[in-house]
Amino acid sequence: MQRWHLTLGLTGLAIGAASLAPSLKALIIDVPTPSSGMISEVVPPPPSDPLPPASTGSLIVDAGLDRTAVLAAHTTERFLTVRVRAPEDVGETVRRPVDLAVVLDASGSMSARGKIDYAKRAAKLIANHMEPEDSYALVVFNDDARTIVPSTKTTQDRIGTIERAIDRIYEGGGTNLYAGMDRGAWEVQEALAAGDVGRVIVLSDGNANVGVTDGSAMARFAAGLVSDGVTLSTIGLGLDYNEDLLAHLADMGGGSYDFVDDPRELDAVFSDELARTASVVARNTAVTIELPEGVEPLEVIGWDARRVDGGWQVFLGDVYAGESRKIVARVRVSGDTVGQRRVAEVTADYQDLGSDSLARTHVTATATVTSDASQIETSLDRERAIEASRAFGNWYLEMSTRAFESGDKRRSQSLLGRGRQVLQEASRELSAPALAEDARVLEEQSVILDTFAPTSTEGKKHIKGNKERARVLVR
């Protein structure tokens, strides 16, 4: 089983990297043509609500370049890393009642390998683990969607009724994913009270082939739920579902995405999702990166970043207690006047559940402009350089996997080689064993992807696993 918690980021621009250390050479690449399973239209994240001028919430935000100095009278490409963290110790204090709908695929393909039985058991488990003030609903979908358990409080006397209803689920028919999401969202919205956390969890093992099947329409639906106070998470089971679609829905819906290749692991996945839902610290989190004159925006790696004047906005959705997210962007910095200069203004806007208010956390990233080349050598921020190297190197793994998926093994191998080079050189120069391990994984994948066809069982498994691994390490 692959267990990486993420949301999908698709990037579409050509990218070249400046060195993270003096001898790391720039690599200029072009992005592989997206496979047919990818979303053809990028849906922008929902805009931030107006905020009070001085509300600082629970999130901790910091930002900076991989090198804190740039050379005067030169233009340099650098990596800007933004970190967004929620302290672990605020989890219990912000726990709110959870209004949850589990949306299960009950199409005919769920009969294979006993998948429907494991899914039913997981649906029971999550109901048993909820608090009495929480509400639970279960929706199943095949050719259409139907409510098996209408939204109800999870008091002990109702658990038996929920379990008996789940036992009566049967599988058959097609995959009307949109209908399932729509009915699940309706159940949550009917139960949602002020201050509650609304969540829809979708499990599917197949491609949407009945009803609304357009990925962009489904992504717009997921984004619309966010504005209604409901977050969408997705779980892909097996090897025949569209991972790009499910992960993109979670991204637009502000939730998380899981790939599960063994149905026996569903209990753990559902339990983890409930734990994450109950520990939300910040909701509807949007990070805006504003770059001043003299700093050119080039690329955000691995996120659906919406371009705004002078920079980007990245939608993170829910942030959980103890969780840390990162955004790595490539920028071109012009060194003009010697001295300190701003390189970015970073603002996180979100609903802070600790104070039950809209909040804003703001930081400024700066760099030193110097005419002393030796100062550049000593200005390395090792931690940020490692983060940027890891994101950039594993971004090649995702692109290589997409090339493999499209049948272009030659290009896939070339991209894996470039990713290994980035990671190996950075590992040596930054003394970072984790980067060496990432390079070893890419080397293993080179052999695996050269051995199997993309349409084979092993090929599909590695396509899904590699995309998930890459996106988590990028973020």
Q: What is the pLDDT of residues 145-164, one digit of tens each?
A: 999 999 999 999 999 999 99
The confidence score (pLDDT) of residue 92 equals: 63
Q: What is the pLDDT of residues 431-458, one digit of tens each?
A: 999 999 999 999 999 999 999 999 999 9
Q: Nearest CA to 288 among 77, 7, 61, 58?
A: 61
Structure tokens at 30: 């072009």
Distance CA 129, CA 121 (A): 12
Q: Is the pTM of this model over 0.75?
A: yes
pLDDT at 239 over 50: yes
pLDDT at 187 over 80: yes
One-letter amino acid of 363: V
The confidence score (pLDDT) of residue 91 equals: 58
Least confident of 89-98, 162-171, 270-279, 334-343: 89-98
Distance CA 43, CA 132 (A): 37
The confidence score (pLDDT) of residue 110 equals: 94
SS (H, E, C) the chain: CCCCCECCCCCCCCEECCCCCCCCCCCEECCCCCCCCCCCCCCCCCCCCCCCCCCCCCCEEEEEECECEEECCCEEEEEEEEEEECCHHHCCCCCCCEEEEEEEECCHHHHHHHHHHHHHHHHHHHHHCCCCCCEEEEEEECCCEEEEEEEEECCHHHHHHHHHHHHCCCCCCCCCHHHHHHHHHHHHHHHCCCCCEEEEEEEECCCCCCCCCCHHHHHHHHHHHHHCCEEEEEEEECCCCCHHHHHHHHHHCEEEEEEECCHHHHHHHHHHHHHHHHCEEEEEEEEEEECCCCEEEEEECCCCCEEECCEEEEEEEEEECCCEEEEEEEEEEECCCCEEEEEEEEEEEEEECCCCEEEEEEEEEEEEEECCHHHHHCCECHHHHHHHHHHHHHHHHHHHHHHHHCCCHHHHHHHHHHHHHHHHHHHHHHCCHHHHHHHHHHHHHHHHHHHCCCCCHHHHHHHHHHHHHHHHHHC
Confidence category of residue 168, pLDDT binned at 50, 70, 90: very high
N- to C-terminal Cα distance for the chain? 20
Cα–Cα distances in angstroms (integers) from residue 146 to residues 103, 135, 150, 182, in the given order: 10, 18, 10, 10
The CA R_g of the chain, rounded to the nearest whole Å, is 23
The confidence score (pLDDT) of residue 356 equals: 85
The confidence score (pLDDT) of residue 336 equals: 82
Q: What is the pLDDT of residues 71-101, one digit of tens each?
A: 999 999 999 999 999 998 875 667 889 999 9
The confidence score (pLDDT) of residue 57 equals: 87
The arithmetic mean of pLDDT across residues 66-70, rounded, is 95
The confidence score (pLDDT) of residue 55 equals: 55
Q: Which residue has the higher pLDDT, 360 or 1?
A: 360
Sequence-ordered list of residues with C-beta below 8 angstroms from that of 323, at least 6 positions apart, any chain:
85, 86, 281
Q: What is the pLDDT of residues 369-378, one digit of tens each?
A: 999 999 998 9
Neighbour order of strands in the sheet with 357-370? 69-71, 357-370, 339-352, 280-290, 311-320, 306-308
Distance CA 116, CA 118 (A): 5
State percent of the chain over pLDDT 90: 81
The arithmetic mean of pLDDT across residues 407-421, rounded, is 97
The confidence score (pLDDT) of residue 17 equals: 33
Structure tokens at 186: 């309706």
For the chain, give the mean pLDDT.
88
Cβ–Cβ < 8 Å for 329, 289: yes
Q: Which residue has the tokens 């991972």?
A: 243
Q: What is the pLDDT of residues 22-59, one digit of tens each?
A: 334 333 334 443 333 445 444 445 544 444 444 578 99
